[in-house]
Amino acid sequence: MTAPAPLSAVDVPEPPPAPIAAVAAKASLARRLGGLGAGLLLFLVLVALFAPLIARHDPDLPSGLPYESPSLAHPFGTNDVGQDLFAQLVFGTRVSLTIATLSALVALGVGLTVALLAGYHRGRVEAALMRLVDLILAFPFMVLVIVLAAFFGRGLLTTVVILAGVIWARPARVLRSQVLKVREYQHVVGARAMGASTSRCICRHVVPRIAPLAAAQFVRAANIAVLLEASLSFLGLGDPNRVSWGTMLYFANARNAFLTDAWLWWILPPGLALTAAILGFAFLGYAIEELADPRLARAAPRHSRRGARRPPAVTPAEGAHAGMVLEVRDLSVEYLADPPVRAVDGVSFSVGPGRVLGLVGESGSGKSTLVMALLGLLRPPGRVVAGNATVNGRELGRLHRAAVARVRGREIGFIPQNAMNALNPAYTVHHQVTEAAALTRDLSAARQRATEVLELVGIPAPRHRAYPHELSGGMRQRVVIAMAVTNEPSLLVADEPVTGLDVVTSARVLRLLLELRDRLGLSILLVSHDLPLVARVADDLLVMYGGRIVERGGAKAVTGAPAHPYTRQLLSAFPSLRGPRRRMTGLTSEPTDLTAPSAGCPFHPRCPDRGEACRCTHPPLVEVDVGHEAACLMRDQ
């Protein structure tokens, strides 16, 4: 393809490197806090388990004179009736932790059940349950707990039920949003489509995915429960027959401990124990939440303002075309197996400013693997084994995640295949576009930008506050496009952007992409299996088969005079709306098995023009016309 005129370089300061050390420090801090929290809770649990061995006296019986000072016999002294304060503190650990744990378990069980029923079944069930959740959350915690405790009386089980009845609503709301997301995953939808029962889908697919978040909610519920129990007991609404940290504080206050020196040992130890329990639950919950969502520790660096992002002053790498937005050189991707599977094999191409490059090929040709590698989203067992890339002159090396994360969402926008999977069903589309815009702006500017870009892609203002399920497929695709272009990237990667859309909507979406290209100065990498459709909008074409580029050049040249048999068969598989009628011929047999690669042309088992040399010789890309290349040994025959 013909390279555009080189752009003049501007000397600007090198952007600061991504704060990898800061991200690592954040992850390390979370682990340390989690370890500290687990240590505190483990110590309290051991104290509760071995309370009879630790305390020498019965906490409910007098064992000394009233208001005795601390001694070896009574480490914290005695209260006004001679009961050992150290024994009460130790045995109170049992009661406080038991109530907190049981309340959290009951609250999590109720909350998880409500979340599964509301999030999975939807409809009237969801409406009724979520209104109940809203009602519970609308009341102040302490007021509701005090009213219920005063009405139902005092007792351990009563306290557990009251606390669980107040706490369950928050886990229900948080978990329900995750159920809404998980139920729309393709494998869950596929399981339902294949006849899997509701209980099987929930138990096998939904619950395992939300289990880490449920564990975090349990810890948070226990944290709230231990504090509420202490508050109830301090107000005299706890179980008077069981000593807990809260009842110790209640009796200390009721019996005027502050008027004597006993307050130091009567009030301070249970207060410190409560503090240790609350901090332990809080630190452990923080670490579990990060485990449930690793992005909290590995998030890409954010910039507070759009102006804070400065283009890099990087000299293009040796062999790169000056002025190219994207330059990929000899990229190879393997999937670890026995033997390894080479899904992308030595692919090189470039995208110029304002150009639309179409990447076409049937399923299994390596298109999506190539795109995921370019975006740094390739997951194990896939890995980039060779090649490198540059974006606007910035060298990305072998497309490591950290390197690509600096440009993804900023200089490179991405439109995934299925818009519904890319949108969170729990948030409005405006909220989600705002989240994307906040990568390079403060929150106020991001909201304004979200409104602007949604109107730019044709979403009217009344629909900005709609949820994804309230929009049509075409409008959802426009929202995803808005998210991709909100930070004004120089390159837009569109992976099957019209999959699942009808013909009319597909044409409108493609027309929108071209309009955005012209208005925003975008370059577009358009990935699809539909060669005639891509050829109508692309300036240049890459035809991919078996992980390799088999033909490339201008769109008119490739479709007007295809030089590779694979390209010709792709074109002949689609009917022409113009021109004479002709017999259509499809591709025969299955695509090449990449697990058993041959030394020759990957297309030769299906090629109608194959010769003997095709079995043992790998054809290189050779120019067949100006700016038009093909990899075929039989092109001149």
Residue-wise pLDDT for 160-186, tens only, equals: 888 888 888 889 988 988 888 888 776
Contact 567, 551 (CB under 8 A): yes
pLDDT tens per residue across span 500-525: 777 788 888 888 888 888 888 889 99
| pLDDT at 280 > cutoff 80 | yes
Residue 56 dihedral angles phi and psi, to the nearest 5°: -85, -20
pLDDT surpassing 50 at residue 329: yes
Residue 1's pLDDT is 39
pLDDT above 50 for 302: no
CA distances 538 to 134, 365, 482, Å, are 51, 19, 21
Average pLDDT over residues 381-408: 77
Distance CA 142, CA 234 (A): 12
CB 542 within 8 A of CB 348: no
DSSP letter string over 407-452?
TBTTTEEEE-S-HHHHS-TTS-HHHHHHHHHTTSS-HHHHHHHHHH
Give the chain's end-to-end CA distance (angstroms, integer): 25
Instruction: Summarize pLDDT for 577-606 with one digit per residue, the tens.
Output: 665 666 666 666 666 767 667 777 887 777
Q: 3.90.1150.10, 1.10.260.40, 2.102.10.10, 1.10.3720.10: which CATH number matches 24-298?
A: 1.10.3720.10
pTM above 0.95, yes or no: no
Do the Cβ atoms of 303 and 440 come closer than 8 Å?
A: yes
Q: Do 89 and 76 form a contact (C-beta atoms < 8 A)?
A: yes
Helices within 428-530 (DSSP H only): 429-437, 443-456, 473-485, 503-520
Write the CB contacts of 238 (distance below 8 Å, at least 6 apart in sequence): 154, 159, 229, 232, 244, 246, 247, 250
Place of tokens 């109940």: 132
Higher pLDDT, 328 or 192: 328
Residue 549, token pair as written in the block? 């580029």
Is the pLDDT confidence value at 401 over 70? Answer: no
pLDDT at 110: 92
Separation CA 454–CA 178 (nearest Å): 26
Query: Which residue did the predictor score with more confidence, 128 or 607?
Result: 128
Which tops the pLDDT comparison, 192 or 434? 434
Classified by CATH at the fold level, domain 326-551 comes out as Rossmann fold (3.40.50)
pLDDT of residue 213: 86
* Interatomic CA distance for residues 13 and 313, integer angstroms: 7
What is residue 419's predicted lDDT score, i.e. its pLDDT?
63
In this predicted structure, what is the pLDDT of residue 361?
A: 86
Write down the number of H helices and E strands in the chain: 24, 12
The pLDDT value given to residue 16: 39
pLDDT at 109: 92
Residue range 116-128: average pLDDT? 84
For 421-458, write each residue's pLDDT tens digit: 677 777 888 988 888 888 888 888 888 999 998 988 88
Kindly report which listed range (239-243, 289-293, 434-438) carries the lowest average pLDDT score.
Answer: 289-293
C-alpha 276/C-alpha 48 separation (Å) is 14
The predicted structure's pLDDT at residue 637: 58
Mean per-residue pLDDT of the chain: 78
Per-residue confidence at 399, pLDDT binned at 50, 70, 90? low
What are the pLDDT digits (tens) for 81-112? 888 889 888 898 888 888 889 999 999 999 99
Q: How many CA atoms lie within 13 A of 173 on its CB side?
A: 12
Q: Encode pLDDT of 5-40 as tens digits.
A: 333 333 333 333 344 444 445 556 767 888 888 899
State mean pLDDT over 300-328. Answer: 49
Q: Give the pLDDT confidence score for residue 632 in this predicted structure.
A: 84
> Which amino acid belongs to residue 593?
D
Q: Where are the domains of the chain?
A: 24-298, 326-551
Name the 3-class secondary structure at 62.
strand
3-state helix, strand, coil in the chain (%, to 5): 50, 15, 35
In angstroms, the CA 507 to CA 337 distance is 40
Structure tokens that stand for 166 in this block? 């107040």
